[in-house]
C-alpha cells in the first residue's frame, strides 16, 4: 500500500538525506584528516599527492635496503677489527718466541709422532723403561698393562724428580707431536740397557752429540730378558768425549800394561793423572776414574750399535766441558790396547737448542692463522653477501633506478691477502720466526687498509641514508598536505551539520504532527 506524504514532509526527508551524506563526508574528513580520497574528488591534486607519496614509499624501500647494506658493512668492520686483534696477538707470540731464543740444554728428542695418548707398542707385562743420570739417580717404569701410554710414562718420570723431564712438544712436521727428554739440571743421562727394545723403538730419531749410533735392537734388552754384554744403552751427553777404536773391542778384563800413564783435564779444569807401575785391567781403570770424582766418567759403550758389540772404552766430561788427554803412554797411547789416539781433545758440543717454548708459541700462532681464515669465511653478514670472501654488494641509492653503487669485496685468507704463509711449526729456526713477524706486520697493514676502504663506503652510504630519510619525510608531508583537510574547519562544519540535522528532524516531526491533526479534524 503506498504511503502518501505531503510536499513539506518530502522536502524535510530530502533535506535529511543530504545532511546525512554531508555529515558522513565531513565526519570521514575529520576522522582521517584528509579532504581528498580519490581522483573523483580532485583529479589533479590526487594525482600529485599519489606521485609524492609513491616516491616516499620507494625511498622507504630503498632505505630499508641501504640499512641492510650498512649492517653488512658494520658486521664486516667488526670482523676486521677482531682480525686485527688476532694478528696483534700473533705478533706478540712472535716477539715472545724471539725473546725466548733456543734454550741450551741436554736433551733427547724423538722425531716420531708420539703424543700423550700414544700406546707403548710391543711390550710385555714386566717390560721396563729405565733412565739413570750420571749422578746416579734412577727412574725405572715397569709395564703392568699393555695399554700403557707414553703420557703415563712421562707423568711417572716427571714425578720421580731425578732431574729429567719428559714433555710433548709441537713437531716441525705439521700435525705431529714429539716426545722430548730434557735434563734441566744439565746432567748427562742414559736410557739404560734394561729398557725393553720394543718400547724404545717407539722413540725413533733420538740423537746425542756423543756420536753413539742408535740401534734399538742392539743397545737394549729384548722384553724382560737381561741385556747382553754388548747392550749398553744409549747416553745423552754434551760434554767432550774420547772413545777408543780397538779392532776387536775391549772388555772389563782387557789388560793394561805396566808403565801405562794418562794425564787429562778433569771436569773442573784441573790436571789429573793415572799411572800404573804394575799391569792391571780396564775394569780397575774405570774404578779409579770414578773414585777421582772429578767430573769425568769412564765406561764401556757399544759405539757401533752393532749386534753384540764390540765394546769400546770411552771417557767423557759429564760437566759439559772438553775432554782433553794431555799425555798418554802404554795402553792409553796411540796404538795401545784401548784403541785411543794418545794425547788428543774431544771437544764439547754446544748445548742443544731447546725450541719447545718457541714451538709452543708457534702452535698458538698457527691456531690464530686458522681462526683468521674461519673469521673471514663466517663473517656474520645479514644479507648473505660476504665482502671478505670476494663477493660484491650492489646498493640502490635513490628512487630513480639509476646505476647502483657497487661495493667490491676482497678475498681474505691468512695465506693470501694477509701473506701469513710461514707457519709457527717452523719456529725452531730464527729466520722463520722473523719471517712470520714480517708477514704478520704486513697482514696488519692490509687489514687496516681494508677497513679504511669499506669505511669510505660506510660514511657515504650513511650520509645518503640520512638524506633519503629527510626526503622521505618531506615527500610524505607534501603528499599528505595536498589532500589534507582543515580539521578545524571540518569540525566546525560537522557541528553545524549536526545542528541542521536536529532542525530538519524537528521540522519533519512538526510536519507529521500537522498532517495527523488535519486527519483527525476531517475524520471528526
pLDDT of residue 130 exceeding 90: yes
Q: Do the strands 241-243 and 234-236 form a parallel or antiparallel pair, or are they unpaired?
A: unpaired
Do residue 232 and residue 242 come from a single domain? Answer: no
User: What is the rounded average pLDDT of the residues 489-508?
Assistant: 57
Give the angle subtended at the CA of 435 by the CAs of 433 and 437, to the nearest 5°.
70
Do residue 132 and residue 189 come from a single domain? Answer: yes
Cell of 311: 765394546
User: For residues 298 and 349, what is the distance between their CA atoms, to the nearest angstrom?
Assistant: 18
Cell of 88: 696483534
Least confident of 11-15, 238-242, 250-254, 386-390: 11-15
In percent, how much of the chain has pLDDT > 70? 69
User: What is the rounded average pLDDT of the residues 113-137?
Assistant: 93
By the 8 A CB rule, do 183 and 105 touch? yes
User: What confidence tens digit (pLDDT) does each residue in 59-70 have?
Assistant: 556 656 776 777
pLDDT of residue 290 exceeding 70: yes
> What pLDDT score does 485 carry?
47
In the numeric block, the cell 747416553 is attached to 235
Do residue 110 and residue 225 come from a single domain? Answer: yes
> What pLDDT score does 51 carry?
61
Do residue 176 and residue 127 come from a single domain? Answer: yes
Around Cβ 273, how many Cβ atoms within 10 Å?
10
Do residue 268 and residue 328 come from a single domain? Answer: yes
46 in any annotated domain? no
User: What confidence tens digit (pLDDT) does each residue in 397-439 have?
Assistant: 666 666 677 788 899 999 999 999 999 888 878 889 999 999 9
In the numeric block, the cell 653478514 is attached to 381
User: For residues 242 and 221, what is the distance between their CA atoms, to the nearest angstrom?
Assistant: 26
User: What confidence tens digit (pLDDT) does each residue in 357-405 have?
Assistant: 788 888 899 999 999 999 999 988 877 688 888 888 877 666 666 667 7
242 in any annotated domain? yes
Q: Is 444 exposed, middle or buried (0-12, 13-18, 19+ CB in 10 A)?
A: middle
Is-cis flag, bond preceding 515, omega within 30?
no
Do residue 220 and residue 184 come from a single domain? Answer: yes
Do residue 212 and residue 228 come from a single domain? Answer: yes
491 in any annotated domain? yes
The 3 state secondary structure assigned to 2-67 is: CCCCCHHHHHHHHHHHHHHHHHHHHHHHHHHCECCCCCCCCHHHHHHHHHHHHHHHHHHHHHHHHH
Cell of 202: 717407539
By the 8 A CB rule, do 496 and 62 touch? no
pLDDT of residue 21 exceeding 60: no
Which of 479, 496, 514 lies at the terminal end of a domain, its last residue?
A: 479
Do residue 419 and residue 394 come from a single domain? Answer: yes
Selection from 322, 341, 346 nearest residue 244 by Cα: 341
Label residue 499 by pLDDT band (50, 70, 90). Answer: low
CATH of the domain at 464: 1.20.1330.10
Mean pLDDT of the chain: 80
Please state the pTM of the whole predicted model.
0.55
Cα-based torsion angle of the residue sequence 309, 315, 319, 321 in order, rounded to the nearest 10 degrees: -110
> What pLDDT score does 483 carry?
46
Do residue 189 and residue 92 come from a single domain? Answer: no
pLDDT of residue 47 exceeding 60: no
In percent, how much of the chain has pLDDT > 90? 41
40 in any annotated domain? no
50 in any annotated domain? no
Label residue 486 by pLDDT band (50, 70, 90). Answer: very low
> What pLDDT score does 298 carry?
95
pLDDT of residue 299 exceeding 90: yes
User: For residues 363 and 170, what is the distance between their CA atoms, to the nearest angstrom?
Assistant: 7
Which one has a higher pLDDT value, 199 or 354? 199
The 3 state secondary structure assigned to 452-483 is: HHHHHHHHHHHHHHHHHHHHHHHHHHHHHHHH
Do residue 472 and residue 378 come from a single domain? Answer: yes
Which of 354, 380, 404 lies at the terminal end of a domain, its last residue?
A: 354
Please, which residues have CB within 8 angstroms of residue 115's CB and are 6 or more apart in sequence?
A: 150, 151, 168, 177, 179
427 in any annotated domain? yes
44 in any annotated domain? no
Please, which residues have CB within 8 angstroms of residue 57's CB and are 6 or more apart in sequence?
A: none
Around Cβ 167, how many Cβ atoms within 10 Å?
16
Selection from 387, 385, 446, 451 nearest residue 415 by Cα: 446
User: For residues 322 and 247, what is the distance between their CA atoms, to the nearest angstrom?
Assistant: 25
Label residue 329 by pLDDT band (50, 70, 90). Answer: very high
> What pLDDT score does 523 carry?
57
User: For residues 312 and 250, what is the distance between their CA atoms, to the nearest angstrom?
Assistant: 6
Least confident of 173-182, 244-253, 361-370: 173-182
Do residue 326 and residue 345 come from a single domain? Answer: yes
Do residue 371 and residue 331 come from a single domain? Answer: no
> What pLDDT score does 470 carry?
62
42 in any annotated domain? no
pLDDT of residue 1 exceeding 50: no
Which of 217, 236, 255 lies at the terminal end of a domain, its last residue?
A: 236
User: What confidence tens digit (pLDDT) does each residue in 335-346 have?
Assistant: 899 999 999 999
Backbone dihedral angles phi then psi of residue 464, each to the nearest 5 degrees: -65, -35
Please, which residues have CB within 8 angstroms of residue 138's CB and are 6 or more apart in sequence?
A: 130, 131, 132, 162, 192
> What pLDDT score does 326 carry?
95
What is the count of structural domains for the chain? Answer: 4
Cell of 423: 707457519
User: For residues 191 and 133, what is the distance between their CA atoms, to the nearest angstrom?
Assistant: 9
Please, which residues have CB within 8 angstroms of residue 5's CB and are 6 or more apart in sequence?
A: 13, 515
Domain residue limits at 249: 238-354
Amino acid at each position: 500500500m503506498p504511503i502518501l506524504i505531503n510536499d513539506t514532509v518530502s522536502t524535510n526527508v530530502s533535506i535529511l538525506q543530504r545532511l546525512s551524506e554531508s555529515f558522513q563526508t565531513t565526519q570521514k574528513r575529520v576522522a582521517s584528516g584528509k579532504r581528498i580520497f580519490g581522483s573523483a574528488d580532485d583529479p589533479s591534486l590526487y594525482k600529485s599527492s599519489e606521485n609524492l607519496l609513491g616516491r616516499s614509499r620507494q625511498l622507504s624501500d630503498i632505505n630499508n635496503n641501504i640499512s641492510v647494506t650498512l649492517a653488512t658493512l658494520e658486521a664486516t668492520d667488526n670482523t676486521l677489527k677482531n682480525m686485527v686483534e688476532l694478528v696483534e696477538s700473533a705478533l706478540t707470540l712472535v716477539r715472545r718466541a724471539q725473546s725466548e731464543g733456543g734454550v741450551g740444554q741436554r736433551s733427547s728428542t724423538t722425531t716420531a709422532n708420539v703424543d700423550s695418548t700414544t700406546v707403548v707398542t710391543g711390550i710385555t707385562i714386566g717390560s721396563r723403561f729405565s733412565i739413570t743420570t750420571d749422578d746416579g739417580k734412577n727412574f725405572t717404569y715397569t709395564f703392568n698393562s699393555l695399554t700403557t701410554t707414553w703420557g703415563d710414562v712421562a707423568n711417572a718420570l716427571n714425578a720421580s724428580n731425578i732431574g729429567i723431564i719428559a714433555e710433548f712438544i709441537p713437531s716441525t712436521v705439521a700435525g705431529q707431536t714429539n716426545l722430548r727428554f730434557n735434563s734441566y739440571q744439565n746432567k748427562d743421562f742414559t736410557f739404560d740397557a734394561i729398557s725393553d727394545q720394543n718400547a724404545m723403538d717407539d722413540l725413533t730419531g733420538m740423537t746425542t752429540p756423543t756420536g753413539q749410533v742408535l740401534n734399538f735392537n742392539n743397545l737394549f734388552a729384548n722384553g724382560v730378558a737381561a741385556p747382553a754384554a754388548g747392550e749398553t744403552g744409549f747416553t745423552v751427553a754434551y760434554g767432550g768425549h774420547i772413545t777408543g777404536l780397538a779392532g776387536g773391542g775391549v772388555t772389563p778384563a782387557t789388560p793394561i800394561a805396566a808403565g801405562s800413564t794418562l794425564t787429562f783435564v778433569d771436569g773442573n779444569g784441573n790436571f789429573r793423572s793415572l799411572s800404573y807401575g804394575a799391569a792391571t785391567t780396564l775394569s780397575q781403570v774405570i774404578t779409579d776414574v770414578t773414585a777421582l770424582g772429578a767430573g769425568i766418567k769412564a765406561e764401556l759403550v757399544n759405539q757401533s750399535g752393532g749386534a753384540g758389540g764390540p765394546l769400546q772404552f770411552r771417557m767423557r766430561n759429564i760437566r759439559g766441558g772438553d775432554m782433553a788427554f794431555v799425555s798418554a803412554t802404554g795402553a792409553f797411547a796411540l796404538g795401545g790396547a784401548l784403541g785411543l789416539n794418545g794425547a788428543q781433545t774431544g771437544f764439547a758440543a754446544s748445548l742443544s737448542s731447546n725450541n719447545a717454548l718457541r714451538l709452543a708459541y708457534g702452535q698458538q700462532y698457527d691456531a690464530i692463522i686458522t681462526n683468521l681464515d674461519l673469521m673471514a669465511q663466517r663473517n656474520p653478514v645479514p644479507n648473505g653477501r660476504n665482502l671478505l670472501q670476494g663477493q660484491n654488494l650492489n646498493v640502490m641509492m635513490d628512487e630513480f633506478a639509476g646505476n647502483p653503487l657497487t661495493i667490491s669485496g676482497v678475498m681474505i685468507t691468512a695465506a693470501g691477502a694477509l701473506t701469513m704463509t710461514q707457519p709457527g711449526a717452523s719456529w725452531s729456526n730464527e729466520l722463520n720466526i722473523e719471517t712470520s713477524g714480517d708477514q704478520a706486520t704486513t697482514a696488519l697493514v692490509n687489514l687496516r687498509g681494508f677497513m679504511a676502504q669499506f669505511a669510505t663506503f660506510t660514511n657515504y652510504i650513511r650520509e645518503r641514508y640520512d638524506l633519503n630519510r629527510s626526503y622521505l619525510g618531506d615527500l610524505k608531508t607534501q603528499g599528505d598536505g595536498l589532500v589534507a583537510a582543515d580539521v578545524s574547519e571540518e569540525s566546525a562544519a560537522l557541528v553545524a551539520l549536526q545542528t541542521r540535522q536536529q532542525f530538519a528532524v524537528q521540522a519533519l516531526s512538526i510536519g507529521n504532527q500537522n498532517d495527523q491533526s488535519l486527519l483527525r479534524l476531517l475524520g471528526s
